[in-house]
Structure 1
Amino acid sequence: MAPALFALAAPETAVSTGRLLPAALIGIALIVVLITRFRLHPFLSLTLGSLAVGAVAGLPMADVITSFTGGFGSTAAGVGTLIALGAMFGKLLADSGGAGEIVDTIVGRSGPRSLPWAMAAVGALIGLPMFFEIGLVLLMPVVFLVARRSGLSLVRVGVPALAGLSVMHGLVPPHPGPLVAVDALKADLGITLGLGVLIAVPTVAIAGPLFARFAARWVDVPAPELFEGRRDEVGAQVRRPSFGVTVATVSLPVVLMMGKAVADLLAAEGSVVRSALDFFGTPLVALLIAVLVAIFTLGRGAGMDRKALAASLEGALPPIAGILLIVAAGGGFKQTLVDSGIGKLVADWVQSSGLSVLLLAWLVAVLIRLATGSATVATVTASGILAPLVTTLDTGQTSLLVLAVGAGSLFFSHVNDAGFWLVKEYFGLSVGQNLKTWSAMETVISVVGLVLVLAVSLVV
């Protein structure tokens, strides 16, 4: 009986494989070529890639458009508001001087031997609410000043700060990449946040201060005098919120979201405590509360008037328009893959192959990252391909799948990554030196992140 059933099913599977697998490969290849060869914006590339997938798979184009727009809209609704609120929070942190207060306090209390560790902590704290590029621009004056005044190598001081920024960007919500993966894979945000922080701390330590010891031997560049006078001038003009108030404000959304996760595990369903923590720990509510609190603790605490506060909040939104479109288009691409049946095909293949789902997720993200140079594109595309797999995973494993994708999305930044050139120019490095420092650091983050994800999966 079993052979007969297999014989009946085989032609359908072969036909599906014959149409769907080439559709997926062509769609992804088209996205990669459009981004890397023709320098087309990822939003347009993902949109065209989605249409190509549907056309090659033989789906009615009207259905393809419906799938894409449906995925685009649901992702924008689920993630777009969070990215916007996160951007507002980060802008308030920067404009109020709160970020500078964190940096100066931690660095000021550190000796030469502990400075790399302090810079890693600064990078992680600043990176928690801010996009990587914004955090990098904000930290560069600090990195230069610390390197010059301490006499340490610019690489010895800068790599730990970059590691803190990058790890937060790839592994910890509310950054766009992790948020997209959480949304696409239907993971629990609180558990993902908790596991992300658990994995992020040792990853930052290894890829930051520890790796920097070796990187500083390979590359030794002096810190420029840039920002020396400008920072002192700004510091004298701006009244800052206190260190304690700033750290408490930055930690608020994290505490609220983790409180929801703890309540879901420990509190009785339907109880007042669980209902309250579930509401306040919902990402939208947690970030909204954080922004409202930051208006008073950071904005008013720094002496900003209504006009300055309004300008800060408004100025946070235009720079993230491109990110929002890329993320939403990634959601549309994901939905096209799911509705075409490609995702189920991949899921069935993984289940029959015996490969670790977490390892596969990391590999898929690595390949897309290497091809496109974008961690966000790697995350949204890999999440779409792997979305059907979550039906076979429990809550903890699904969160680890998000983190495996995030770790893979950071692998070996090179010449097709805008971040590569940003770091190169700020640090005054050659391409070869940047590969030995920044690119190597990103690879260490990716590999260590994967190892820790696999280790945690043994007990979760």
Structure 2
Amino acid sequence: MPLIILALGIVLLFVLIIAFKLNAFLSLIISSIFVGLFQGMEPLTIVKSIESGLGGTLGHLAVIIGLGAIFGKIISEGGGANRIARTLIYMFGEKRVDWAICLASFVLGVILFWEVAFMLLIPIVYTVAVEAKVKLLKLGIPFLAATSITHCFLPPHPGPTAISGVLEANLGLVLAYGLILAVPATILFGPLFSRFYKNWDIEIPDHLVSKQEFNMDDVPSFYTSILVTLSPVIFILIGVITEFTLPETSMVYKTLTFIGNADIALLIAVFIAFYVFGLHKKRKSISQLMKIVETALVSMGGIIFIIGGGGAFKQVILDSGMADYIANFTSDWNISPYILAWIIAAIIRLAVGSATVTVLTTAGIMLPILSATGASPELMVLAIGSASIAWAPPSDVSFWFTKEYLNLTIGQTVKMVCVMFTLLAIYGLLGVMALSTFIG
């Protein structure tokens, strides 16, 4: 019964948006109330759950989205994205820019949280598409595939790292096995998969791309532009290295881990961009920079609320006890532990949306089964991690991020993103089963 209620809630969400043309944020809130009521939650508990989910999601993401939007807009309006785009086109050729974007997304995706990598790269994706005169999805799909694949397969991302901790898996082996699956997957679901959508003529959102013509003599060099663009990555890496090398009590540790926090790294990067693309050589005045900031933040308003609505929907589903129901429902199934883990994770993912909740819940369920069967904990991590990307349900922020930034309709998002992520999850399971014949 709970799964039927969830299915009806998702159908209601799509009907409100597609048939009644209701705003996505309002539709998410209404669907959250529907699921909560039919799951037997108290009305006021539903309200608190919505507030908790919206606040919990935006408490972290709003800062990253806001600072990422400002950072990307400054680099774009200052000509940095244009400079990087032209250089990539020159290096790889117009016919292979999708491979350039795929490679850049994979490298950054390994070391950055999904949302941070998304916000850093999307302005460059837009600009390369404009400069190379290629369709947005030719670059958007490889970009999305690479950042998402690294997120579900490779440490130090939170999902694989968290599961490894619960299952006591060797992180080095998880990374090694993960790379065996991730590299072919990136090629398959990136540049090759984009060919299925070559006839989709998606326009870049007007408010998210600069149409300014640049005198390249006045624009910072490629190396300066790429260094500024990568500056938050550098700060985050410094923080990560510090965590493993210095004692927690030292002042240097506290300072560098503070700088390496994703929010602070982006904040510092914004001010570096202000100087390099604005104040240096008087390229732009303070008032001009602040106007760009204003434009960037205004353009993010609707997106932030939609993502928050997705968080509210997820929280109501979670608080209604859906994950516990699924755990009990699947506890007596007698199949391969890798397949069982994948199925449990895929069902929880569809039910609650959150990849983090999915992997932690599934890892807890599978821990005693892992001990009893003697299965490889490293392969179990990958089985759970691959299922955590399945479906891309509307209760997950990835659905709304992709819809808004790639300028897709709800139907297009389902046909492209949900299909890609589900096929990727199935690929992950097949890869784990293949590896298990050699590893155990």
Equivalent in 294, 312, 317 of residue 332 of structure 1:
312
The residue aligned with 1:5 is none
Question: Is the CA contact (8 Å cut-off) linking 1:410 and 1:442 kept in structure 2?
Answer: yes
Query: 1:123 and 1:69 mapped to 2: Cα distance?
Result: 33
Query: 1:421 and 1:115 mapped to 2: Cα distance?
Result: 17
Gaps of 5+ in 1: 1-17, 145-153, 174-180, 222-230, 369-377, 412-416, 425-430
Matches within 5 A, 1:98-177: 98-110=80-92, 117-118=99-100, 120-121=102-103, 128=117, 130=119, 137-144=126-133, 161-167=139-145, 170=148
Counterpart residue identity of residue 67, structure 1: S
User: Between Structure 1 and Structure 2, how many residues are aligned?
Assistant: 382
Equivalent in 284, 299, 303 of residue 323 of structure 1:
303
Residues 161 and 266 (structure 1), Cα distance of their counterparts in 2 relative to 1, 3 Å cut: same
The residue aligned with 1:242 is 221
Query: 1:28 and 1:445 mapped to 2: Cα distance?
Result: 18
Residues 28 and 206 (structure 1), Cα distance of their counterparts in 2 relative to 1, 3 Å cut: closer
Asked if 1:409 is matched to 2:388, the reply is no
Gaps of 5+ in 2: 110-115, 152-156, 165-170, 201-209, 368-376, 395-401
Deviations 1:290-347 (A, max 9, x none): 2122211233358121122111111101221122112212222222222221222223
The residue aligned with 1:8 is none
What secondary structure is seen at the aligned counterpart in 1 of 2:22? Answer: coil
Query: 1:440 deviation in Å?
Result: 7.4
Residues 113 and 52 (structure 1), Cα distance of their counterparts in 2 relative to 1, 3 Å cut: closer
Equivalent in 289, 293, 300 of residue 272 of structure 2:
293
Asked if 1:254 is matched to 2:233, the reply is yes
Query: 2:239 and 2:225 mapped to 1: Cα distance?
Result: 22
Residues 308 and 35 (structure 1), Cα distance of their counterparts in 2 relative to 1, 3 Å cut: same
The residue aligned with 1:6 is none
Deviations 1:120-171 (A, max 9, x none): 4577789945488765543332222xxxxxxxxx68xx76523343236646
What secondary structure is seen at the aligned counterpart in 1 of 2:215? Answer: helix
Q: Give TM-score scaled by structure 2 length.
A: 0.67
Give the CA RMSD over aligned residues.
5.0
Residues 31 and 292 (structure 1), Cα distance of their counterparts in 2 relative to 1, 3 Å cut: same
Query: 1:240 and 1:270 mapped to 2: Cα distance?
Result: 43
Counterpart residue identity of residue 409, structure 1: A
What secondary structure is seen at the aligned counterpart in 2 of 1:109? Answer: helix
The residue aligned with 2:255 is 276
The residue aligned with 2:77 is 95
What secondary structure is seen at the aligned counterpart in 1 of 2:218? Answer: coil
Counterpart residue identity of residue 306, structure 1: I
Question: Is the CA contact (8 Å cut-off) linking 1:54 and 1:64 kept in structure 2?
Answer: yes
What secondary structure is seen at the aligned counterpart in 2 of 1:254? Answer: helix
What secondary structure is seen at the aligned counterpart in 2 of 1:287? Answer: helix
Query: 1:363 and 1:260 mapped to 2: Cα distance?
Result: 35
Question: Is the CA contact (8 Å cut-off) linking 1:358 and 1:454 kept in structure 2?
Answer: no
Question: Is the CA contact (8 Å cut-off) linking 1:119 and 1:160 kept in structure 2?
Answer: no
Query: 1:363 and 1:236 mapped to 2: Cα distance?
Result: 53
Query: 1:94 deviation in Å?
Result: 0.9
Residues 256 and 55 (structure 1), Cα distance of their counterparts in 2 relative to 1, 3 Å cut: same
Query: 1:271 and 1:110 mapped to 2: Cα distance?
Result: 45
Equivalent in 43, 66, 72 of residue 61 of structure 1:
43
Query: 2:84 and 2:327 mapped to 1: Cα distance?
Result: 45
Query: 1:79 and 1:41 mapped to 2: Cα distance?
Result: 21
What secondary structure is seen at the aligned counterpart in 2 of 1:235? Answer: coil
The residue aligned with 1:24 is 6
Query: 1:204 deviation in Å?
Result: 4.2
Q: Give TM-score scaled by structure 1 length.
A: 0.64
Query: 1:449 deviation in Å?
Result: 6.8
Query: 1:81 and 1:405 mapped to 2: Cα distance?
Result: 24
The residue aligned with 1:34 is 16
Residues 405 and 441 (structure 1), Cα distance of their counterparts in 2 relative to 1, 3 Å cut: closer
